[in-house]
Structure 1
Amino acid sequence: MLALSAVLVSYLIGSVPAASWLARSRGVDIRKVGSGNSGATNVLRSLGKGPAFLVAAFDILKGALAVWLARALGLPPEWVGLCGVAAVIGHNFSPFLGFRGGKGVATSFGTIAVLDPVAGAGAFVLGVFTMWLTRFVSAGSILGALTAGILVVALGRPGWLTLVILFLAALLIWQHRANIGRLTAGKESRLGEKVR
């Protein structure tokens, strides 16, 4: 019962729509501007660097907090991983936004970084480098997710951890399927450009 309650609480933590609420406090409906995505990148394009940093930090913390909470409760590792997954699902499918949300990049990173710091660091370095090199946030996010998945397999992590990180990587890539289509068609917007 404790484990299931922790998963539910983790989902609710993840579902807090920081981007939407912060934008609303400034008179903006984040779902109706830019890409329409409730995440830090759309906040950056719509409201600027300061608000985007706050949203990214909050979203990272959601994933990390879910894992820390599960560990503090002394739950088995598998349940700790499920709590991290629940936070990401809450972010992507928030009941506060009609079961819509962001793409889970920051929340997935927060979860992975606490579950496996090596995979998290690898994903962060390659993801940020790709964003800097190409100016495509989507490309950096996708390559970061792939890096985390490759590292967790290559390092021979326990089965539960491998499954959790591979699931999060696959979910993140799925959430970016429209971006992948635009990237291959040469129509994806770069940082600093208006959404096409």
Structure 2
Amino acid sequence: MILTALLAVLVSYLIGSIPAAAWVARARGVDIRRVGSGNSGATNVLRSLGKGPALVVALFDIFKGALSVGLAHLLGLGPVGAALCGVAAVVGHNFSPFLKGRGGKGVATSFGTITALDPLVGAAAFVVGIGGIALTRFVSAGSILGALTAVVVAAVLGRPGWLLLVVTFLAALLSWQHRDNIRRLQAGNERRLGEKL
């Protein structure tokens, strides 16, 4: 079972590392790492290529997290094993070997992972995150707010310690990945949603 769990985590990391944004952009003749923020995620695709490609990337990235959790359940690894596989997918997305250790910021894949682990916590994060983006038009601010909401909701609902730990880790990683965005928000020069490159 330990070997199965290790293999599942490795496979989940590889699933997460599939760089949908980079591949979708490349199919349109764009190197996503050389435009906009250089981030391999749906927001940069939105600014570079438009809504259609961005939606495809976002849905695929969400699916990577959910698929990894589902894989662990199919293998009978239990909720903690499923959580570790979901975390591995997010790490793979953020630090993809296909992109020489670079990647996205893990928002969509974290959402897919958290929602697959606890749909209520994921739904709360989604509502608050989308609401934050709608009100401020800052994707970064809404994403961080949604992640922090997941931590608060998991704690308030008295979720198991392992789940609270995983959600907190994912929220911390997401916030760290957005450290440059946080600096730009503080400086007042962060790009708003809808601004083209």
1-structure distance, mates of 2:63, 2:177: 20
2-structure distance, mates of 1:44, 1:67: 27
Q: Which residue of 1 aligns with 2:147?
A: 145
- Alignment root-mean-square deviation, CA: 0.8
Q: Which residue of 2 aligns with 1:14?
A: 16
Structure-1-length-normalised TM-score: 0.98
Q: How much has 1:130 moved relative to structure 2?
A: 0.8
Q: Which residue of 2 aligns with 1:97?
A: 99
Question: Structure 2 regions of 5+ residues with no counterpart?
Answer: none
List 4+ stretches of structure 1 deviating above 6 A: none
Is the CA contact 1:34–1:194 (under 8 Å) kept in the aligned structure 2? no
Q: Which SS does the other structure have where 1:36 is aligned?
A: coil
2-structure distance, mates of 1:194, 1:44: 9
Decide which of 134, 137, 149 is 1:135's aligned counterpart.
Answer: 137
AA matched with 1:33: V
Q: Is residue 61 from structure 1 mapped to residue 44 from structure 2 by the alignment? A: no
Query: Over residues 20-55 of structure 1, what are the superposed CA-to-partner deviations in whole Å (9 max), with x where a residue is unaligned?
Result: 001001100000011110000000000000000000
Q: Which residue of 2 aligns with 1:3?
A: 5
Is the CA contact 1:109–1:120 (under 8 Å) kept in the aligned structure 2? yes
Question: Structure 1 regions of 5+ residues with no counterpart?
Answer: none
1-structure distance, mates of 2:194, 2:77: 43
Query: Over residues 101-158 of structure 1, what are the superposed CA-to-partner deviations in whole Å (9 max), with x where a residue is unaligned?
Result: 0000000000000101111001000100111111100010000000001111111111
Is the CA contact 1:14–1:88 (under 8 Å) kept in the aligned structure 2? yes
Q: How much has 1:194 moved relative to structure 2?
A: 4.0
Query: Over residues 80-115 of structure 1, what are the superposed CA-to-partner deviations in whole Å (9 max), with x where a residue is unaligned?
Result: 110000000000000000011000000000000010
Is the CA contact 2:16–2:64 (under 8 Å) kept in the aligned structure 1? yes
Structure-2-length-normalised TM-score: 0.97
Q: How much has 1:76 moved relative to structure 2?
A: 2.5
AA matched with 1:85: V
Identity %: 74
Query: Over residues 139-181 of structure 1, what are the superposed CA-to-partner deviations in whole Å (9 max), with x where a residue is unaligned?
Result: 1000000000111111111111111111001100110011011
Q: Which residue of 2 aligns with 1:120?
A: 122
Is the CA contact 2:90–2:110 (under 8 Å) kept in the aligned structure 1? yes
